[in-house]
């Protein structure tokens, strides 16, 4: 008998449609478990404990909610459980999964995030199958670490590493990962976890509790919101970004798919000019994502780097944002922040070939 703790946080998987609005509902938790027990894939070999430290639509999450959830997870006696499932809204799941991958990389049991595309009573909902798939993963994989289980549009239960999942897309409610590479799947017939063997995936032998190279208590207590995210688009006017005393510690600036952004000679549209202004104000600008900072780049990318942008390659924007939030919660020194972001690997967030480990 496996003992699993289910932590409810709200989101679509714990919501209910009332007239034309979908919102969190006090009965959402009970409805989810009662409905799961009526499914043909209900497992009778598990004991479920439940908790709900917060109840919120995930688009409304701010650092105070992450603090509350992290404080609760930190107090859990892992020796009492075979795994933990956290139900979460799909809108911001990728951010929370990345953050918790870094903060709880030393977990000795699997911690699995899951969500739903529609409220449970909706026949289009995949929430019950995602919950069942999360339990199947814990029962069959017995791998420590932070994961996400979510059904794709082909009906396959995909398993993602928490630090490698990207935001859910708008039109098809699908999660993804760089190179469309998941960590594995749950086999429909056997309900067993099947790893995706690929040179870019860490082998199972490496999936052990990782060292957390920072004081987790300090990060949770001081979780910062002084990180800004900017996404490029034609005509992005940097002159609108003006700060007084309240300015960001650092910025994560997204890039177009070819690792470019505007390097126009027109100052208001120029990312290099914006970076130069940020440097004068001691604001670091990190650029991401980059497949590989060592390969040939477009001239605009070279200008951006020459202006002082700090490249973060082989990592998703979501992981970069959460890693920077952790760093900014520990120190405000620019040199320290840059070193932390460019030299520390926390939980398999960097895509590289695991050649030596596979041999």
Choosing from 9, 12, 92, 114, which is the catalytic residue? 12
Does the residue 309 lie in any domain? yes
Name residues of the chain where pLDDT drops below 70.
Answer: 12, 14-28, 296, 355-359
φ/ψ of 18, rounded to 5, equals -125, 110
184 with 256, same domain: the answer is no
26 with 84, same domain: the answer is yes
- Confidence at residue 355, expressed as pLDDT on a 0 to 100 scale: 67
Q: What pTM was estimated for this model as a whole?
A: 0.94
Does the residue 79 lie in any domain? yes
Which contiguous run of DSSP H or E holds residue 95? helix 93-103
Structure tokens at 223: 């979780």
- Confidence at residue 245, expressed as pLDDT on a 0 to 100 scale: 83
179 with 242, same domain: the answer is no
Structure tokens at 157: 């239960």
230 with 187, same domain: the answer is no
- Confidence at residue 359, expressed as pLDDT on a 0 to 100 scale: 46
**Distance from C-alpha of 183 to C-alpha of 197, rounded to nearest angstrom:** 8
**Distance from C-alpha of 134 to C-alpha of 112, rounded to nearest angstrom:** 7
157 with 237, same domain: the answer is no
Tell me which residue of 321, 323, 329, 342 sits closest to 252, measured CA to CA: 321
90 with 182, same domain: the answer is yes
- Would you call 260 a catalytic residue per the annotation? no
Does the residue 351 lie in any domain? no
Tell me which residue of 46, 107, 113 sits closest to 79, measured CA to CA: 107
Does the residue 281 lie in any domain? yes
Does the residue 176 lie in any domain? yes
Range of the domain at 186: 2-206
Structure tokens at 224: 């910062």
**Distance from C-alpha of 36 to C-alpha of 18, rounded to nearest angstrom:** 21
Residues forming beta bridges with residue 83, ordered by sequence position: 4
- Confidence at residue 149, expressed as pLDDT on a 0 to 100 scale: 98
| Exposed / middle / buried, residue 251 (Cβ in 10 Å: 0-12, 13-18, 19+) | buried
- Confidence at residue 292, expressed as pLDDT on a 0 to 100 scale: 77
32 with 130, same domain: the answer is yes
- Confidence at residue 57, expressed as pLDDT on a 0 to 100 scale: 86
27 with 164, same domain: the answer is yes
139 with 255, same domain: the answer is no
Structure tokens at 30: 């009970």
319 with 258, same domain: the answer is yes
287 with 163, same domain: the answer is no
Long-range contacts of residues 125-131, Cβ cutoff 8 Å, at least 24 apart: 126/150, 126/151, 127/12, 127/13, 127/32, 128/32, 128/35, 128/36, 128/39, 129/41, 129/157, 130/13, 130/157, 131/13, 131/32, 131/36, 131/85, 131/87
131 with 262, same domain: the answer is no
Q: Which residues contact 4 (CB under 8 A, 6 or more apart)?
A: 46, 47, 48, 49, 81, 82, 83, 84, 85, 135, 138
Farthest-apart Cα atoms in the chain, separation: 66
- Confidence at residue 356, expressed as pLDDT on a 0 to 100 scale: 58
Does the residue 214 lie in any domain? no
């Amino acid at each position: 008998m496996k003992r699993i703790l289910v932590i409810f946080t709200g989101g679509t998987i714990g919501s209910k449609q009332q007239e034309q609005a979908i919102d969190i509902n006090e009965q959402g938790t009970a409805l989810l478990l009662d409905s799961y027990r009526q499914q043909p894939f209900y497992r009778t070999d598990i004991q479920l404990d439940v908790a709900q430290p917060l109840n919120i639509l995930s688009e409304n999450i701010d650092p105070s909610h992450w603090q509350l959830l992290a404080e609760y997870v930190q107090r859990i006696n892992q020796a009492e459980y075979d795994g933990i499932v956290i139900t979460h809204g799909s809108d911001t799941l990728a951010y929370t999964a990345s953050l918790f991958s870094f903060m709880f990389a030393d977990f000795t049991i699997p911690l699995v995030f899951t969500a739903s595309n529609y409220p449970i009573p909706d026949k289009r909902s995949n929430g019950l199958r995602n919950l069942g798939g999360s339990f199947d993963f814990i029962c069959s994989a017995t791998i420590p670490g932070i994961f996400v289980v979510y059904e794709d549009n082909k009906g396959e239960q995909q398993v993602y590493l928490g630090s490698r999942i990207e935001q859910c897309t708008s039109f098809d409610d699908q999660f993804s990962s760089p190179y469309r590479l998941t960590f594995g799947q749950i086999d429909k017939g056997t309900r067993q976890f099947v790893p995706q063997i690929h040179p870019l995936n860490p082998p199972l032998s490496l999936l052990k509790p990782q060292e957390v190279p920072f004081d987790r208590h300090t990060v949770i207590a001081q979780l910062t919101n002084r990180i800004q995210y900017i996404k490029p688009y034609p005509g992005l006017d940097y002159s609108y970004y003006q700060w007084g005393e309240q300015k960001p510690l650092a910025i994560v600036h997204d890039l177009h798919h070819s690792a470019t952004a505007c390097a126009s000679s027109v100052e208001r549209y120029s990312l290099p000019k914006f970076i130069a202004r940020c440097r004068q104000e001691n604001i670091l600008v990190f650029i991401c994502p980059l497949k590989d900072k060592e390969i040939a780049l477009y001239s605009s990318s070279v200008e951006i780097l020459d202006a002082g942008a700090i490249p973060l390659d082989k990592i998703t924007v979501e992981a970069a944002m959460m890693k920077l939030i952790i760093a900014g919660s520990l120190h405000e020194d620019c040199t320290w922040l840059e070193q932390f972001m460019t030299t520390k690997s926390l939980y398999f967030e960097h895509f590289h070939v695991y050649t030596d480990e596979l041999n």
